[in-house]
């Protein structure tokens, strides 16, 4: 798995443990700087272009579900995880 997908998986795991609902964008610059923003009204590629980000991750937490969308260098993907009773299912299943 490449660095980009590993980072997205780490973000998904952290978002699973967060108590809040809502959305957030994480921008990672070409020199490694990190910026977090409200994603309202932005596309991932638009954020990358506007802020010169090398990687962009949108995190959406809704009751029972966490989703991470990623964009880097023209590649995009989405990861999601269902949550049971506030505990990620993979943990509840003993993994």
pLDDT for residue 1:
52
The per-residue pLDDT for range 18-49, each reduced to its tens digit, is 777 789 999 999 999 999 999 999 999 999 99
Query: How many Cβ atoms are within 10 Å of 88's Cβ, its own excluded?
Result: 18
CA angle 48, 53, 59 (to 5 degrees): 70
- Identify which has the larger pLDDT, 91 or 66: 66
């Amino acid at each position: 798995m490449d660095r980009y997908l590993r980072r997205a998986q780490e973000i998904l795991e952290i978002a699973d443990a967060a108590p809040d609902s809502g959305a957030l964008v994480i921008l990672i610059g070409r020199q490694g700087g990190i910026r977090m923003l409200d994603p309202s009204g932005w596309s991932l590629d638009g954020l990358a272009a506007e802020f010169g980000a090398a990687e962009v991750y949108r995190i959406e937490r809704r009751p029972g579900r966490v989703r991470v969308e990623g964009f880097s260098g023209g590649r995009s993907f989405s990861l999601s995880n269902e949550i049971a009773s506030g505990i990620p299912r993979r943990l509840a299943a003993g993994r």
